[in-house]
Structure 1
Amino acid sequence: MAEPTHGIAMYGEPALPQDFAHLPYANPDAPTGGTMVTSTVGSFDSLNPFITKGSVHWQLRFFMGEGLMARSLDEPFTVYGLLAESIETPEDRSWVEFTLREEARFSDGSPVTVEDVIWSYETLGTIGNGRYRGFYSKVDSIEQTGDRSLRITFNVEDRELALIAGLRPILQKTQWEDRDFENASIEEIPITSSPYVITNYEANRFIEFTRNPNYWAQDVAPFVNGQHNLDTIRIEFFGDEVAAFEAFKVGEINSNREFNVVRWETQYDTALITSGDFVKSVLPHSRPSGMRGFVMNTRRDQFDDILVRDAMMHAFNFEFINDTITGGVQPRITSYFSNSPLAMQDGPATGRVLEFLEPFADDIPADAITGYALPVSDGSERNRAGIGAALDLMEQAGYTIQNGVMSDSDGTPFTFDILLETNSTENTAIIDIYVESLSRLGITPTVTSADTAQYKERTDTYNFDMTYYQRGVSLSPGNEQYLYWGQDAANTEGGRNMMGVQSPAIDAMINRLLTSDSQDDFVAATRAMDRLLTAGRYVVPIYQWNISRIAHDKNLRYPDTMPIFGDWPGWQPDVWWYAED
């Protein structure tokens, strides 16, 4: 029998009890006030993160989209009541029922109703951003069951859906009754129930959020206790990294997340840091590395052959690149889930992982079962062993060097285009070294730079051969894995399956991790999927970040307790506060 509860976990029970007072990584005594100003390189022409149209800054959907439930960053996947006071679901999770809090309000003071909730699910699931449509395709029905309650019934077996349902953003139906939701202009800012509202902006220049003093959940939902303390959050947009860093050096930006370790070590002796007005914080986390590197588009003839992709992996001299760019201090990403218990294990597949992979043995890379590891060079610039291995692989794929040029049997040169976003300084430096290495194979790729709008248009339509790629993953991978590398997403315009992989084996592993009724099977399915993705040689990985580096105003503070997800959406600015000495 299902019973209403304050939260549910993917496996087991929520860590926090029914009467919990606040999240373990939030400070309920934090003062309110102050301003946080961050920077980003790029532009925007939309303030609606819930539709496909336009270029939207990635943080907006986290600032603006409250759901019925909210996710804790201190558990692999557990959700607690936010707009909903309770959640109810049976053991098989074939349906889920939510009861709204009577106090729930939009920022304009109007109540959040069941009608708003159902309209939001239906609208986002049919004409909203693609990230919301996969869930809705698995919904059999949504029906109101009481004045403040509704039930969602699913049409597939998928334990995660009950949790995902609680995280869909809830919008105000009446705002859009006489408006074209999917083609909203930048002036039509969505009304939500979130603690911050956009009070000022200038396209491509800045977005300013102000804390709503009448935020409905304060003193109502324990999940938000100690959160949303800053009065103002401002995001400044810059054309390149140099300009953004200069703004930080003079204090126009008062919180700066640094991804370049060499710059962190050598260029942060600014006047503000030397004086002690700004400080440098190094923050650990326990989440998977995800994948970051350069993705090969298997829709293109050049990269539909795994032998060619393998050759590109050997030609990429990571050890030399890492030494040149970071001083050799950053460890390499070794798989999609490295730095976590979900990562594929060294050596041959065993136990349940082997059992899951064996039915697909004839159609997957052999070393997904026997064991695969990334090539390792000797660290020298010439990388003789790697280049030799790449030459052999290209020959196996039907290419040879003819008059100094890698060519096929008809004499057609092998080449490809590397698409980069304008002013991506670090990626350009990496690619310059890579292009030099490829020249030793008789391969001369072109490198194309595109501004933010052009880059988005080309990547949305998969109009690239190779490009920079970054995909974060969590300790609780679920339905989003279909979006990242599922067969059905491979040719969906604007989708997230950048490499174009279409593998029944990968889809089967995703299905297994979604339907596993034990933690052991869930881990085994994820490790098997990790093997398939890594051995498939779709992305040339670069370095991972097992810590975060943030330089900030000393008066911007955060709790001593770090969640297991660390510096992740939901932590900064959510649990930060401003307090002068």
Structure 2
Amino acid sequence: MYGAPALPPDFVSLPYANPNAPKGGKVVFGNTGGFDTLNPFTLKGTAPWQLRFWGYESLMGRSWDEPFTLYGLLAESIEVPEDRSWVEFTLREEARFSDGSPVTIEDVLWSYETLGTKGHPRYRGFWTKVERMEQTGPRSLRLTFNTIDRELALIAGMRPILKKAQWQGKDFGTDELPGAPIGTGAYVVKNFEPGRFVTLTRNPDYWGKDLPLHRGTRNFDEMRLDFFGDATVLFEAFKAGELSAVREFNADKWDSVYNFPAVTRGDVVKSEIPHQRPSGMTGLVMNSRRAPLNDWRVREALLLAFNFEYINGTVTGGVQPRITSYFSGSELGMQPGPAAGKVQKLLEPFADTLLPGTLDGYELPQGDGTKRNRKNLRKAMKLLADAGWSVTDGVLRNTDGAALNFTVLIRQGDGELKTITEIFARALERLGITLTAETVDNAQYVERQTAYDFDLTRYRRELSLSPGNEQRYYWGSDGVSQPGSRNLMGMESPAAEAMIDAMLTATEPEDFTAAVRALDRVLTAGRYVIPFWRFDAGRIAHVKEMRFPEYLPIYGDRTEFMPDVWWYQKD
């Protein structure tokens, strides 16, 4: 995205991969919830999220040891002008689908247009910025863009490529296939039972096994996904030896419950994977499409009532620090105090529309560490009064007499969020507010999030060291009404969209950083999410036969770390 790629043209393998890793072994991972489709590319149904990464490839592949750099995968070359107003790819002649058929320009053209018009909404934003797409040679195509956006050339290289002939006579957005879409990846679906398991095997004829980008990766012979009703049952299955690895996100549990016999014997290893990426945002998102959550004062009151210090101590032992902004923990995060310099200059044109604290500085409420949290509750009550709410017979009501009630939508098996909600509800009771937990199965959870049918729900957005067009999908105004976007909070902010534009047109790193820091201010002072705690390191418990390289990428344990660069070795 900026500067030159870190790896030379003749690189042997990614720096965090072991080019001599042995092939073989079978591993089993676990998911909570279920699935009713193997197509991860449409809005219809729920697919195992791993399938997009294990079975499908793009024209370019990413190095997770650089903020945002791509190398050739299905494409052997890429050409762009200085202004990146277009991009041209040339396919590798040896690129093949898992059924052995060659990847053609026709497949690529069809994949771009189909995903952009009938695919999941996460693919559609890019398509609106393509002015034209054309074949320029037997194995080459060019995309010309209709907007100034330096990231589009890279995003174009990251679209998954599917086999057009498999969908002949079918509607991509609605029709179901008897199995999985055909991709070019190293793994193919061997067997599955909806809602219970999916088994994938490594394709012995995988076309890309000798590419430097993939040397030392995709090492397991077989990977199976088993599905469980909740996280507790999944963990018990791991303790019983039914699963090969689990990720743990609670530092207190990592220290207290991972002491079962297999760990003490050394049959299960606890590995911590540090990273340098931003904190992202984890917490309770508030749906501002619904009154009174469309009033920032009500959202701030809920932030004040959320006794983070007490809840953190109860749930994680108090060892995980709080997320302070969306990009906290990195140089992209907002700086304390009033906006200054380039950040101030970017935000000042929107001063009349920005919420309090955006320009002059905003910090999350801090409790006094006690269970009662009286000081913050008094502040919350004053804000609620300013917003037109008052207590009558112990119940907070508006001028029409309507009581203030909220519901937290919880996915079945999320015991941690149930605990958090119970503690939060007791605090809100003291303000006269009723907070109710509503637990639903996986299918209902996805359906209701897609339709924005909730007051509050769990929220997680991982953010990179090179944020770009995906930010519009996260916070753009189109997502206020478009079903299935990732703008769960329903924010509509011209300032946020202008900061994203500034990020995408920046040619100098300092201008890019200023734009991200300004966006971070708009998001954080928007008070859309009640932040939880940071994940400063990945925590993976795994059988001793599963190994990974000593050198770790700057992104740490991301989607393409485990299982991509791991291998199976008995001694």
TM-score category, normalised to shorter length: over 0.9
1:198 paired with 2:185, answer: no
Equivalences for residues 407-418 of structure 1 within 5 A: 407-418=397-408
Aligned-pair distance for 1:186?
Answer: 5.4
SS in 1 for 2:237: helix
Q: Which amino acid in the other structure matches residue 254 of structure 1?
A: S
1:81 paired with 2:68, answer: no
SS in 2 for 1:552: strand
Kindly indicate whether the alpha-carbon contact (under 8 Å) linking 1:52 and 1:129 is maintained by their aligned counterparts in 2: yes
SS in 2 for 1:151: strand
Hey, what does 2:49 align to over in structure 1? 58
Aligned-pair distance for 1:301?
Answer: 0.8
Q: Which amino acid in the other structure matches residue 573 of structure 1?
A: P
Hey, what does 2:356 align to over in structure 1? 366
Q: Which amino acid in the other structure matches residue 500 of structure 1?
A: G
1:246 paired with 2:246, answer: no
Hey, what does 2:89 align to over in structure 1? 98
2:417 aligned to 388, 409, 427, which one? Answer: 427
State the Cα deviation string for residues 177-228 of structure 1 (Å, max 9, x = none): 1223222325231111000001011111111110011100122x21011110
Kindly indicate whether the alpha-carbon contact (under 8 Å) linking 1:349 and 1:370 is maintained by their aligned counterparts in 2: yes
1:226 aligned to 213, 216, 227, which one? Answer: 216
Q: Which amino acid in the other structure matches residue 331 of structure 1?
A: P
1:535 paired with 2:534, answer: no
CA distance in 2, matches of 1:431, 1:19: 53
Aligned-pair distance for 1:325?
Answer: 0.6
1:440 aligned to 430, 437, 440, which one? Answer: 430
Q: What is the aligned-residue RMSD (CA, Å)?
A: 0.9
Structure 1 residues 233 and 96: alpha-carbon distance in aligned structure 2, compared to 1, 3 A threshold: same
Q: Which amino acid in the other structure matches residue 559 of structure 2?
A: P
Q: More deviation in 59-68 or 301-310?
A: 59-68
1:516 paired with 2:506, answer: yes
Kindly indicate whether the alpha-carbon contact (under 8 Å) linking 2:33 and 2:412 is maintained by their aligned counterparts in 1: no
Hey, what does 1:255 align to over in structure 2? 245
CA distance in 2, matches of 1:364, 1:15: 39
1:382 paired with 2:355, answer: no
1:176 paired with 2:167, answer: yes
CA distance in 2, matches of 1:416, 1:158: 40
2:330 aligned to 321, 328, 340, which one? Answer: 340
Q: For structure 2, which runs of at least 5 residues remain unmatched after alignment?
A: none
Hey, what does 2:497 align to over in structure 1? 507
Q: Which amino acid in the other structure matches residue 549 of structure 1?
A: R
SS in 1 for 2:162: coil
Hey, what does 2:464 align to over in structure 1? 474
Hey, what does 1:5 align to over in structure 2? none
1:406 paired with 2:430, answer: no
Structure 1 residues 189 and 256: alpha-carbon distance in aligned structure 2, compared to 1, 3 A threshold: same
Aligned-pair distance for 1:280?
Answer: 0.5
SS in 2 for 1:134: helix
CA distance in 1, matches of 2:336, 2:171: 52
CA distance in 2, matches of 1:130, 1:18: 35
Hey, what does 2:180 align to over in structure 1? 189
CA distance in 1, matches of 2:539, 2:333: 24
Aligned-pair distance for 1:404?
Answer: 1.1
Kindly indicate whether the alpha-carbon contact (under 8 Å) linking 1:48 and 1:184 is maintained by their aligned counterparts in 2: no
Aligned-pair identity in percent equals 56
State the Cα deviation string for residues 120-163 of structure 1 (Å, max 9, x = none): 10111111111111001100111111111110000000000000
2:131 aligned to 116, 137, 140, which one? Answer: 140
Q: For structure 1, which runs of at least 5 residues remain unmatched after alignment?
A: 1-9
SS in 2 for 1:434: helix
Q: Which amino acid in the other structure matches residue 474 of structure 1?
A: S
1:313 aligned to 303, 328, 340, which one? Answer: 303
1:121 paired with 2:99, answer: no
Kindly indicate whether the alpha-carbon contact (under 8 Å) linking 1:38 and 1:254 is maintained by their aligned counterparts in 2: yes
Aligned-pair distance for 1:493?
Answer: 0.6
Kindly indicate whether the alpha-carbon contact (under 8 Å) linking 1:45 and 1:186 is maintained by their aligned counterparts in 2: no
Name the count of aligned residue pairs: 571
Q: Which amino acid in the other structure matches residue 171 of structure 1?
A: L
